């Protein structure tokens, strides 16, 4: 079954305006309006938890349309009866509204290739009804009519293997959140007993912390003995660790601590099992995962989650901007009377969005990285949070081309912004020197101003014998600043003597 082209958020907004006129006219064909029918025969489904309202539209001749409606349940037998009903009427194109998780069983029954259905899941924003004209039957008719006239844009539904990977990666996110909650509860429990373990150890459930906690749960109370359970070397001194472990323990605290440690061990075991399952399912996509790992801030788990969220077939997204719009990582549009009222980002895949923003914060701590330079350039003007959003957008765009073109990422270096426009960088640095009180040669400022406003036409090549060290510095009209990084050429006499010898 062919996958649907994903509409961007902006395109959805444009088509919603077109759909508003249809909200007031439930049947364009009945009014004789001259509109183009995209599909001769199609169906719309209004899916609920216990029932499904189906509407079938079939163009008989001209603009006359035959409409049939039916009601079905949501059990497997009823869904198969819906499938047979659609096959009996030779329907190929089916659209349904995205209502929670209730559309997924319908999709699973109808998506099999042998049935040949072209399925589409649409956002409720596109098919929202006006107040006073809201019934299940009318909703199904409106979905079918919008589909027949080509006014719907389908959402991205990946193939079944990618959906199964998505279930695994999202399950890992939930398990990791549960684990973090248990760790936080352990930290709060220790604070109530005046045990300051979290003040001297960065990870209270690491090798040393877990060994000490297990000793406390077994009933050991002496701080000196507890400090002896540390593993390896710690940043804190032995005396600091002993003072931090001098708390007030009782049987009630030890019972609660044992319970929390059991939950932590259970979650660690489930995470290990889930990682093994994910690794096995991700085996066909390992080349893509390895290429994504070349991105700064993207490790193996992040690459697996990225593949599970966006898939490996980028043909469903016409451009990288469509992918960013679907993920909710681009500015939104809210204009009225020629004024831009808001650029707030729209809602997208919260799993992918959270993952990429976490990667962006990780990029901010890297050294000699091009994305790090972009992060701090934007942060200096717009703030850290907007910089993280912008870098997350860039990571997703780069990932799009990595997956589509099967290439690896090559970091341009932390100074690539300076190399992209060296005159602008030099002007900014000169102005900064002046602000902190250093004298600047006026001739150098004049040279930079002249070069800045020079025509962008390509300059003729400068002969190397006329260059002051290198062609780049000769073009600037300044002494070579790269001479110390270059090897001095041999003198002509020495060269001739060597050649003659």
pLDDT by residue (tens digit) across 336-384?
Answer: 887 878 878 878 888 999 999 999 999 999 988 999 999 999 998 889 9
Q: Are residues 180 and 229 in the same domain?
A: yes
Q: Residue 453 domain-assigned?
A: no
Q: Are residues 219 and 310 in the same domain?
A: no
What's residue 56's pLDDT?
A: 93
What's residue 186's pLDDT?
A: 95
Q: Residue 436 domain-assigned?
A: no
What's residue 466's pLDDT?
A: 45
Q: Are residues 104 and 39 in the same domain?
A: yes
Q: Are residues 17 and 106 in the same domain?
A: yes
Which stretches of the chain score pLDDT less than 50?
1-10, 12-34, 455-457, 459-468, 484-501
Region class of 437: left (phi > 0), else alpha (psi between -120 and 50), else beta = left
**Distance from C-alpha of 55 to C-alpha of 140, rounded to nearest angstrom:** 5
Residue 129: helix, strand or coil by DSSP?
coil
Of the three residues 350, 372, 405, the one that is the final residue of a domain is 405
Q: Are residues 126 and 226 in the same domain?
A: no
Q: Are residues 312 and 270 in the same domain?
A: no
Q: Residue 464 domain-assigned?
A: no
Residues 6+ apart with CB under 8 A from 495: none
Q: Are residues 186 and 303 in the same domain?
A: no
Cβ atoms 369, 292 nearer than 8 A: no
**Strand order, beta sheet including 41-47:** 64-73, 51-61, 41-47, 93-97, 118-122
From the number of C-beta atoms within 10 Å of its C-beta (0-12, 13-18, 19+), residue 404 rates as middle
Instruction: Give bridge partners of residue 336 from the DSSP assignment.
Output: 339
Q: Are residues 13 and 153 in the same domain?
A: yes
What's residue 488's pLDDT?
A: 47
Query: Would strands 51-61 and 64-73 be described as parallel, antiparallel, or unpaired?
Result: antiparallel
From the number of C-beta atoms within 10 Å of its C-beta (0-12, 13-18, 19+), residue 327 rates as buried
What's residue 477's pLDDT?
A: 55
Q: Kindly state the tokens that stand for 453.
A: 């406003």
What's residue 474's pLDDT?
A: 60
Of the three residues 342, 372, 405, the one that is the final residue of a domain is 405
Cβ atoms 428, 452 nearer than 8 A: no
What's residue 428's pLDDT?
A: 83
Q: Residue 493 domain-assigned?
A: no
Of the three residues 405, 430, 446, the one that is the final residue of a domain is 405
Residues 6+ apart with CB under 8 A from 73: 50, 51, 52
Q: How many helices (H) and strands (E) does the chain have?
A: 22, 7
Question: How far is Cα of residue 117 from the mean position of the Cα atoms in its chain?
Answer: 30
Where in the sequence is the domain holding 332, given as residue range(s)? Answer: 285-405
Q: Are residues 147 and 191 in the same domain?
A: no
What's residue 302's pLDDT?
A: 94
Q: Are residues 258 and 333 in the same domain?
A: no
pTM of the predicted structure, to 2 decimals: 0.76
Residue 59: helix, strand or coil by DSSP?
strand
What's residue 191's pLDDT?
A: 92
Q: Residue 494 domain-assigned?
A: no
How many domains, the chain?
A: 3
What's residue 473's pLDDT?
A: 61
What's residue 481's pLDDT?
A: 55
């Amino acid at each position: 079954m062919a996958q649907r082209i994903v509409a961007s958020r902006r395109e959805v907004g444009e088509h919603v305006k077109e759909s508003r006129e249809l909200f007031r006219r439930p049947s364009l064909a009945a009014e004789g309006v001259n509109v183009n029918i995209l599909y001769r025969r199609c169906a719309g489904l209004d899916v609920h938890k216990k029932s499904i309202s189906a509407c079938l539209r079939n163009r008989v001749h001209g603009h006359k349309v035959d409409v049939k409606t039916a009601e079905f349940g949501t059990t497997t037998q009823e869904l198969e009866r819906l499938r047979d009903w659609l096959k009996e009427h030779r329907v190929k194109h089916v659209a349904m509204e995205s209502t929670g998780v209730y559309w997924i069983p319908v999709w699973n029954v109808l998506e099999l290739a042998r049935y040949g259905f072209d399925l589409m899941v649409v956002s409720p924003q596109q098919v929202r009804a006006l107040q006073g004209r809201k019934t299940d039957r009318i909703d199904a008719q409106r979905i079918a009519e919008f589909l027949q006239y080509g006014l719907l844009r389908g959402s991205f539904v990946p193939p079944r293997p990618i959906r199964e990977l998505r279930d695994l990666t999202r399950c890992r996110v939930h398990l990791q959140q549960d684990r973090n909650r248990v760790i936080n509860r352990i930290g709060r429990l220790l604070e109530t007993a005046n045990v300051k373990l979290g003040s001297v150890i960065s990870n209270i459930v690491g090798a040393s912390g877990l060994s000490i906690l297990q000793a406390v749960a077994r009933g050991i109370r002496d701080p000196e003995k507890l400090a002896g359970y540390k593993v390896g070397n710690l940043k804190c001194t032995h005396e600091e660790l002993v003072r931090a472990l001098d708390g007030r323990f009782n049987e009630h605290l030890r019972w609660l601590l044992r319970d929390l440690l059991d939950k932590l061990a259970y979650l660690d075991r489930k995470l290990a099992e889930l990682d093994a399952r994910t690794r096995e399912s991700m085996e066909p996509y390992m080349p893509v995962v390895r290429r994504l790992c070349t991105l700064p801030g993207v490790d193996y788990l992040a690459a697996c989650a990225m593949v599970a969220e966006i898939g490996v077939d980028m043909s469903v997204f016409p451009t990288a901007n469509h992918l960013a719009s679907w993920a909710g990582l681009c500015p939104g549009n809210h204009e009225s009377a020629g004024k831009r009222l808001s650029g707030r980002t729209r809602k997208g895949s919260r799993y992918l969005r959270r993952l990429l923003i976490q990667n962006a914060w990780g990029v901010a701590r890297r050294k000699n990285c091009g994305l790090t330079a972009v992060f701090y350039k934007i942060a200096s003007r717009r703030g850290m949070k907007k910089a993280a959003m912008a870098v997350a957008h860039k990571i997703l765009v780069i990932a799009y081309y990595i997956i589509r073109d099967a290439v690896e990422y090559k970091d341009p270096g932390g100074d690539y912004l300076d190399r992209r426009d060296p005159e602008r960088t030099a002007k900014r640095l000169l102005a900064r020197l002046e602000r902190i009180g250093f004298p600047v040669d006026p001739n150098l400022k004049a040279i930079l101003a002249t070069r800045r406003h020079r025509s962008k036409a390509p300059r003729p090549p400068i002969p190397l014998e006329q260059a002051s060290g290198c062609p780049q510095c000769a073009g600037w009209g300044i002494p070579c600043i790269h001479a110390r990084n270059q090897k001095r050429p041999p003198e002509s006499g020495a060269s001739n003597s060597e050649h003659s010898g």
